[in-house]
Structure 1
């Protein structure tokens, strides 16, 4: 069935507008879409979304993570095998991370990474026919915010919540930052790492983030207006 932006779609539907855009400029196809010959097909149920100029994806509520190229994820180093680290990112298989995929890494200058470390990385390979591959540097060789995350606290949530808090329209993170200094990394695999001045504040902030999942924008703003009292109410 032919669909349009904003429609609720099902696997097997196809979307020809992408083919039209592709003839004019470069098109980015995100999670939930797959190109086959002249059609772009829907691969999971959800709402068809578009970000200008030419980025498309399916917005759906899911807990199981399916790796997608270009996404930032939070993983746990589960094994060291020669020059490769095996990283659990919550998918059906572990991802590979080379020791050379860190800023300034060489054969003599290897990164300090141990089994059990928390890694914030980017997926450079994500295919149903190949194992996922991660890097902790950008295209210029700089780490930016990627790499090993020290201290802090990691918790799981729905992928829907990750998309919600990273949306520019969501006031939650900006309001929390103004009231309570902290660091946060959100992985598109449904994991959040958060670090505040104390464990008490870290847990409180994590509970505030989790509590925002089913709140409307207005409810989030209302909570943010009295953030100190709200966060204190999450600490036991």
Structure 2
């Protein structure tokens, strides 16, 4: 399946349906004759990730949850043994208080309203609210997920957020050559980062905005960085 532009209702024909994984913007249905079709549910560019995962990338700002995707969320309430988390989607997500590495009824994180979490979408169904977990489903280790303390969160387009998850993208490695930073990228268009000084925090924020809005490449961003007081 070649990379192409798609629109809602566009019927796609992947090379094989064996072990096919569908990301955001795609829906699989079976007609009365038993034929399976892959249908686009949003406008954007069709992409392939790995051997058999396909998704539609759009530059919108409304996030549609998809299973196994990393997100940056804000705790908005606690309900019994779980938390309500805003991830920028149409409905809030649920995060179980035990969905952390090593968590038990006696030993578990005590999150407050306003706390930031880096989580993975464990359940995404159009008829149910999304569910989150803060560990790797296979290893049960945190693997970078959990509460995000300190730092700053800024918003960007969903398209840029997905690009930043690619280790080959120039932005974060280039910033890392200038100063030390910690970062967490959510495909829901939220980027958390933590630096040593307020000047560095402001510089990162301005660089992300410049790449997102002005479409700067690595060379242009390097020139832009040299104009900042960091």
1:8 to 2, 5, 9: 5
Residue 47 of structure 2 corresponds to 49
CA offset at residue 111 of structure 1? Answer: 1.3
8 Å contact kept, 1:171–1:221: no
- For structure 1, the 5+ residue unaligned runs are none
Higher helix residue share: 1
Residue 17 of structure 2 corresponds to 22
8 Å contact kept, 2:207–2:221: no
Over 3 Å counting, the alpha-carbon distance change for 1:64 and 1:226 in structure 2 is closer
Query: TM-score, normalised to structure 2's length?
Result: 0.91
CA offset at residue 163 of structure 1? Answer: 2.0
After superposition, give the CA deviation of every residue in 1:95-146 in whole Å (9 maximum; x if it has no partner): 1001110111111112131111001000011111011000001121111110
Instruction: Tell me the SS of whatever aligns to 2:74.
Output: strand
Residue 99 of structure 1 corresponds to 97
Residue 77 of structure 1 corresponds to 75
After superposition, give the CA deviation of every residue in 1:75-101 in whole Å (9 maximum; x if it has no partner): 111111110111111111111001110
| 1-structure distance, mates of 2:49, 2:62 | 24
2:29 to 36, 45, 49: 36
Residue 33 of structure 2 corresponds to none
CA offset at residue 216 of structure 1? Answer: 4.8
| 1-structure distance, mates of 2:228, 2:182 | 16
Instruction: Tell me the SS of whatever aligns to 1:213.
Output: helix
Any residues of structure 2 matched to 1:1-236 within 5 Å, and which? Answer: 4-17=1-14, 20-23=15-18, 26-37=19-30, 38-139=36-137, 140-216=139-215, 219-224=217-222, 227=225, 229-232=226-229
CA offset at residue 164 of structure 1? Answer: 2.8
Instruction: Tell me the SS of whatever aligns to 1:50.
Output: strand
Instruction: Tell me the SS of whatever aligns to 1:224.
Output: helix
Query: TM-score, normalised to structure 1's length?
Result: 0.89
Instruction: Tell me the SS of whatever aligns to 1:143.
Output: coil
Count of residue pairs the alignment pairs up: 224
After superposition, give the CA deviation of every residue in 1:151-172 in whole Å (9 maximum; x if it has no partner): 1011111112212333344211
RMSD over aligned CA atoms reads 1.7
After superposition, give the CA deviation of every residue in 1:1-25 in whole Å (9 maximum; x if it has no partner): xxx52221111111122xx4124xx
| 1-structure distance, mates of 2:228, 2:72 | 25
